[in-house]
Amino acid sequence: MATTTSTSSTATITSLGVGSGLDLDSILESLEESKTTSLLDPITAQEDSVDAEISAYGTLTSALTTLQTAAEALADESLYESLTTTLSGSGVTAATTSEAEAGTYTLAVTQLAQAQSLTTDGVESKTTALGTGTLTLQVGTDDAVEITLDSSNNTLEGIRDTINDADAGVTATIVSDGSDTPYRLVLTSDSTGTESEMTVTYSGTDSTDEASSLFGYDGSTGNMTETVEALDAELTINGISITSQSNTVEDALQGVTLSLSATSSSQTLTIAQDTDSILDAITTFVDAYNSYVSTVDDLTAYDADADTAGELLGDSTTRRISSDLSSDLYSAVGSGTYSYLSQLGISLEVDGTLTIDEDALTAALEDDMDSVSEFFIGTDDTTGFITQITDDLDNYLDEDDGLIVARTDSLATKLEELEERYEEKQALIDSEMDRWTDEFTELDTLISSLTSTSDYLTTQFDALNSDD
């Protein structure tokens, strides 16, 4: 609590209003509140409005970006070339490229391709030196690979590791058969088919080396034993015999890769246009457009009962975007079989949303895919429906100079200007409050001094009267 002391006729004020007895603090607070209401509150209200508008543009951008993603999916040419494959049996899978043709084919796999395996006779230890010399491996007509055996690698384990490091197209493993001489080196071609049969030769520095009796195979005879025969895959397609070096059969059917995993009796391969993927992409686009329409409705709505308006009510940029996209929906496209969305079973409703007649759209996709593709993505000479919308969306959403960026940048600049005005007005209020505080302090001191003088004089007069 502040105190007032007096000496003779002077007074020192340590708390505003104590000397005068006036509620000067409340008066100052009222003055500051009045200035804040008249100078700062309007600026704060404008800042809140601009912030809300920037946030609304963020919501609008999100809806448009979702629509852009859906439109870009429909603008992808490969979507209209995609095919589906179904097989009536097992043991075969099929993958297609854009070069494949829709059709039905009868398949039968009579033999799978397999890789050749050769094995040595058994040896007692896999760590005993077997001799020194040169081991030569060749797969089919590939270049032969020479492997030098010396004291650093001429055990069964060392030979295995050296072969596996040599990139010779051969994999070496050691198998134990449990006999007195259990360890055998097994060589397996890395590739299947008869064109990947192995040839193995060995030239030792000493004919008595054990390695000389272990290695060697010339395609039919030699010290090594063929345990797995190299085989080609064999199948028939519509009765035509096909052979393949591997179980991946490419281009026996144009644009189709067959992967064989088991022999099988006759089964049916059906290749058809992937209408489901296109239908899904169109549905995603329609849903994204309807979500955009709903977003715009919310941002531009006016509630007469509550007298409240959406943040973008009356906004020219939002109106332009809505107008452009609506025009894209209404406008005729090209001169092909389909020129309007409605011809594909996609209708524009009175509320601005789109609806899909799935039966009509599916029929169009199944009957004339080329015309549907031309409508959406155009040709070399015409612009497609989705191409035009994609161009418009790119113009709105470009991060450097798009329509929305230009508008939000303008709003951000306006917000900065409001913040500067706020700071200027706040500084003005602070200056005035300092001046008023000084003046009130002087007033308080003066009244306190006058009061002290008055009290002193009253005391003196009372004393005089008492003496009388």
DSSP state of 144: P
DSSP state of 38: I
CB of 215 closer than 8 Å to CB of 200? yes
Q: Which pLDDT band, with edges at 50, 70 and 90, does 13 fall under? A: very low
CA distance 385 to 160: 63
| Residues 240 and 105 placed together within one structural domain of the fold | yes
CATH number at residue 155: 2.60.40
Q: What is the mean pLDDT of residues 60-86?
A: 93
| Residues 352 and 468 placed together within one structural domain of the fold | yes
| Residues 353 and 262 placed together within one structural domain of the fold | no
What's at 383, amino acid-wise? T
CB of 321 closer than 8 Å to CB of 64? yes
| Residues 260 and 290 placed together within one structural domain of the fold | no
User: Which pLDDT tens digit goes with each residue over 332-344?
Assistant: 887 789 999 999 9
Which has more confidence, 142 or 335? Answer: 142
CA distance 402 to 408: 10
Q: Which pLDDT band, with edges at 50, 70 and 90, does 409 fall under? A: confident
pLDDT of residue 14: 45
Q: Which residues pair with 106 in a beta bridge?
A: 268
Please spell the DSSP secondary structure of 336-404, one letter per residue: SS--SGGGGTEEE-TTS-EEE-HHHHHHHHHH-HHHHHHHHHB-SSSB-HHHHHHHHHHHHH-TTT-HH
Of 323, 334, 340, 329, the C-alpha closest to 396 is 323
From the centroid of its chain, how far is CA 155? Answer: 53
User: Which pLDDT tens digit goes with each residue over 219-238?
Assistant: 888 999 999 999 999 999 99
pLDDT of residue 177: 93
Q: How many domains does the chain have?
A: 3
Rounded to the nearest integer, the mean pLDDT of the chain is 87
Please, which residues have CB within 8 angstroms of residue 174's CB and are 6 or more apart in sequence? 126, 156, 157, 160, 183, 184, 185, 186
pLDDT of residue 118: 97
SS3 466: helix
Is 4 a residue whose pLDDT tops 60? no
Q: Kindly list the distances between the CA atom of residue 301 and the CA atoms of 13, 309, 310, 352, in Å, as whole numbers in the listed order.
A: 59, 6, 5, 14
Element (H, E) at 8: none
Q: What is the mean pLDDT of residues 294-314?
A: 87
Which has more confidence, 11 or 131? Answer: 131
Question: Can you give the pTM of this predicted structure?
Answer: 0.65
Domain end (from 252, 273, 294): 273
Highest mean pLDDT among 94-98, 147-151, 426-430: 147-151
Tokens linked to 394: 């790119």
CA distance 176 to 367: 63
| Residues 223 and 245 placed together within one structural domain of the fold | no
Of 275, 378, 292, the C-alpha closest to 70 is 292
Q: What is the mean pLDDT of residues 92-107?
A: 91
| Residues 215 and 350 placed together within one structural domain of the fold | no
Tokens linked to 221: 């005879």
Q: What is the mean pLDDT of residues 259-284?
A: 94
Edge-first strand listing for the sheet containing 117-119: 170-176, 183-189, 117-119, 225-228
pLDDT of residue 467: 60
CA distance 103 to 94: 13
SS3 229: coil
pLDDT of residue 468: 55
Q: What is the mean pLDDT of residues 10-16?
A: 45
CB of 269 closer than 8 Å to CB of 107? yes
Tokens linked to 247: 């179980």
| Residues 361 and 238 placed together within one structural domain of the fold | no
Q: Which residue's entry shows tokens 């409705």? A: 297
| Residues 295 and 426 placed together within one structural domain of the fold | yes
What's at 185, amino acid-wise? L
| Residues 78 and 157 placed together within one structural domain of the fold | no
Q: Which residues pair with 412 in a beta bridge?
A: none
Of 259, 286, 249, 276, the C-alpha closest to 71 is 286
Q: What is the mean pLDDT of residues 146-153?
A: 95
> What range defines the domain where residue 56 resides?
1-82+275-468
Of 116, 111, 112, 119, the C-alpha closest to 229 is 116
| Residues 329 and 448 placed together within one structural domain of the fold | yes
pLDDT of residue 347: 93
Is 163 a residue whose pLDDT tops 70? yes
| Residues 298 and 383 placed together within one structural domain of the fold | yes
CA distance 264 to 284: 40
Q: Which residues pair with 268 in a beta bridge?
A: 106
| Residues 218 and 137 placed together within one structural domain of the fold | yes
Domain end (from 168, 199, 228): 228
pLDDT of residue 2: 34
Strand 83-87 relative to strand 198-204, pairing = unpaired
Domain end (from 220, 242, 273): 273
CA distance 345 to 364: 9
